[in-house]
Chain A
Amino acid sequence: MSDRRSELVLATVIAALSALTLFVWIPADIDTGMIETFRRQTFIGDAFLPALSAAGMMLCALIQLVTVWRRAASDRPGPVLDGTTLAFFVGFAVIVAVSLATMFWLGAAVWDVLGDGERTYREMRGTAPWKYLGFAFGGTALVWGTISLIEGRVSAKRLLAAALFVTALIAIFDLPFDSILLPPNGDW
């Protein structure tokens, strides 16, 4: 179990969100109630399962809240999320955002610049090398960036490992199977 404060916050947040879901979201976003009667037939409506789930979550969160509240304050370790967590996730989010943006746009952008001007990237998405550009560079950036973030240093050896790995993936996914589209080619 986590520290007492985290447990209390968790239970409170879940109880509050469950209540909000049960009393606001479900009534507003489901057309049938928990039990419906239509043409003299009574049946379980679409709200039944979500309402049951939300009520269950709320009840369990309240029990958890009371249980943790009664627990001694000093018998647990420190908080589960701290400044290091935040620093890691900020760095990781930047790497993921840059990598996915590269993956999505690079092939199309390079084709716009170097292409014949007549055909679109959509027409070229099954043709090498265009179809590999986004995945190769975006994938390498994701793997190398994450390794560098974790290790706290950049290394050419790791870059080579990432590039080789992405090349191997392309060979495994794309070369033997015509039906498989690597990211992002299914979207174009």
Chain B
Amino acid sequence: MDPLEYVWAGVLAVFLGPEAFSILGVGIPMTVLMVAGGFLVGIVGGATPGLAGPFLMAVALPILLSVFGFTPDALLPVLGFLIGVMKGATVGGAVPAILFNTPGTPDAMLTTLDGFPMAKKGEADRALRTAHFASVSGDTFSDLVLFTCAPFLAIVVEAYLGFNEKAALIILSLSFVAAVVGSSPMKGLISGFLGLFIASIATGQDNYPRLSLGTETMQSGVPLITAVLGVLILGEVLVAFEEMYRARNRTTIATSDGPQFKSGRLSFADRRRLMPFISISAVIGTIVGALPGIGSTLAATLGYATGERMHKGPVPFGKGTPEGIAATEAANSSVSGSNLIPVLSLGIPGNVAAVFLILAAESIGGFNPGPSVFRFTTEQVNPELVIAFGLFTAMMFANILNWFTGAHIMRACGVMSRVPRQVLLPMVLLVTLAAIYVQETNFGVLYFALAFAVLGYLMRKLRVPTLPFVISFILAANLEEALRQAFAVSNADPFFLFKSPLSVVFLVLSVVVVVFFSRPRREPSEPTNGSDRRST
């Protein structure tokens, strides 16, 4: 197969794949249905303060695995749903930010600065349309960069990196994530090392499952999805519970009355005026998104600051100008596509959403994100490459759906902002536990989940970032395998990691990045888990 045939096979895998049902004899492909379903769920979830894309992906993943099973046919529908959620939540987060001054997702915080003043002036509809236009433009741009860059990067990595360079690259990625997420690189590294250590339990090459303490419970190892959901989702839920428990005697924050809606359709001239802000922010967001560990909140901040410098209109930033919304939304949305560049080209997840995509792929099997995916074999079909192009097709389909329907769904989701958090989050707890159970069908995993929830809670309270833990946990097996193979091919040279200039460069950079981010600096003023929110 030549490259174009691979692309076409990916498109066909989405649109001519297994049917969900048929209407008047016309089959509705399962992947298309799942992308659309995920997109809808994502917008509704993103518009609900307290929920976010990663929450929804976390809860959906075990359920999807239980429903679709572990066959190759499950890959595109499951990944398609998660992609849909990711994209939907990105635009949905702007809804409560604009209508009620409450960001639905952490990266929509800056959208409140201009969105809510516009809503108060009776321009809520116009603000929502601006947010949607900027968001979907940034997202589409970022996806196009992903489609172009990921295959080339993967081919370069596959062609030039040996085992020792791959091991060094994983070390560099982990160091980078550990250093940039959170307020202290040392804590980030501790978190990363802890992830590696826990992933070692009951794995290895020896017959005896290492570190299992001779117990039956430990001999089957730590369930991957349970641990990740426990630390990432349930830990966050526990922190929120405690915060609300502390605040229960205080006066609740008064929410404003519903905003006034009057039609605010964007004209061509409006869109042309917004485009410079959207373009710059999309580039910023795409660059930030391609770096592991740096999340959409930083992209939104940089996009907003850059837009503010460019802006010369009558209404300044922060007082209710559409350019402010456009700069923020384009930046935070353009993170989502490029976030997948390290996942698809290197197999290294850089943020929470990517973690769940990797977990889905690993759980189902038949698709191992990394450089080997992009082998354009001509004699034999590379099924992983077909899946990769199927994934790209699903992303573009979600974008098209977003362009045509996103703004309407966003406006309909305003009601979700009124769901009280103290009611919503206990429900999230139950759904997460139920989702974990339906996949493992073992009550014991709920105790594992709760134990990891406490770990996640303590990490957040003590400002130890959770993302390095999760990424190390997922990459531990790859790292160990690369180290073993690099050592073996070096004929047991103790300096096996320093035998190639490229691997030395990666290792030196690993140290440099930690030292650089360890410099004394001003700490963020946000409470508890702000460090993690940067990366969600």
Contact = CB atoms under 8 A, between A and B. Distances in A.
Q: Do A and B come from one complex?
A: yes
Contact of B492 (A42, A60, A135): A42
Interface residues of chain B: helix, strand, loop or mixed (majority): helix
Contacts of A21: 197
A63 interface: yes
Interface string B233-257: 0000010011011101100000000
Interface stretch (B209-217, B316-324, B353-361, B403-411): B209-217
Contact of B66 (A45, A54, A179): A179
Interface residues of A, number: 70
B462 A56 contact: no
B463 interface: yes
Given A64-B187, A180-B67, A187-B442, A151 B248 contact: yes
A183 B440 CA distance: 10
Contact of B423 (A35, A49, A60, A158): A158
B448 to A, nearest CB: 13
Interface string B44-71: 0000000000000000000100110100
B197 A150 contact: no
B244 A80 contact: no
Contact of B197 (A32, A45, A50, A81): A50
B345 interface: no
Contact of A169 (B246, B429, B430, B487): B430
B204 interface: yes
Given A150-B245, A151-B248, A182-B438, 4 more contacts: A49-B200, A53-B196, A64-B184, A173-B63
Nearest to B249: A152
B376 to A, nearest CB: 33
Q: How large is the interface on B (under 10, 10 to 19, 20 to 34, 35 or more residues)?
A: 35 or more
A81 B461 contact: yes
Nearest to A179: B66
B200 A186 contact: no
A30 B210 contact: yes
A30 to B, nearest CB: 4
A150 B422 CA distance: 7
Contact of A186 (B184, B196, B441): B441
B313 to A, nearest CB: 39
23 contacts: A1-B463, A2-B461, A31-B210, A46-B205, A46-B206, A46-B210, A56-B189, A57-B190, A60-B189, A67-B186, A92-B241, A135-B434, A143-B429, A146-B429, A149-B241, A150-B248, A151-B422, A152-B248, A162-B427, A177-B67, A179-B67, A182-B438, A184-B443
Contact of A47 (B210, B241, B242, B484): B210
B193 interface: yes
Given A6-B462, A46-B205, A50-B200, A143 B426 contact: yes
A56 B174 CA distance: 13
B499 to A, nearest CB: 15
Given A29-B212, A30-B211, A53 B427 contact: no
Given A61-B190, A151-B422, A169 B434 contact: yes
Interface centre among B183, B431, B437 (most CB of A within 10 A): B437
Contact of B193 (A60, A162, A169): A60
B190 A14 contact: yes
A30 B202 CA distance: 10
A92 B210 CA distance: 34
Contacts of B244: 150
Interface of A: 1-2, 6, 10, 14, 21, 25-26, 29-32, 35, 42-50, 52-54, 56-57, 60-61, 63-64, 67, 80-81, 84-85, 88-89, 92, 96, 100, 104, 135, 139, 142-144, 146-147, 149-152, 158, 161-162, 165-166, 169, 173, 177, 179-187
Contact of B206 (A32, A173, A183): A32
A21 B196 CA distance: 14
Interface stretch (B152-160, B268-276, B475-483): B475-483
A147 B430 CA distance: 12
Contacts of A30: 204, 206, 208, 210-211
Given A46-B204, A151-B248, A26 B211 contact: yes
A177 to B, nearest CB: 6
A23 to B, nearest CB: 14
Contacts of B461: 2, 80-81
Contact of A177 (B66, B200, B422, B440): B66
Contacts of A173: 63, 434, 438
A85 B462 contact: no
B526 interface: no
B186 A147 contact: no
Given A64-B184, A67-B186, A182-B434, A54 B426 contact: no
Contacts of B245: 84, 88, 149-150
Given A29-B212, A30-B211, A85 B242 contact: yes
B88 to A, nearest CB: 18
B189 A165 contact: no
B446 interface: yes
A152 B63 CA distance: 33
B222 interface: no
B483 A48 contact: yes
Contact of B208 (A31, A67, A84, A161): A31
A166 B429 CA distance: 12
Contacts of A88: 241-242, 245-246
Given A80-B462, A179-B67, A1 B523 contact: yes
Contacts of A166: 430
Contacts of A44: 480, 483-484, 487-488
A126 to B, nearest CB: 13
Contacts of A64: 184, 186-187, 190
Contacts of B213: 29
Nearest to A140: B430
A175 B523 CA distance: 50
A55 to B, nearest CB: 8
A48 B479 CA distance: 11
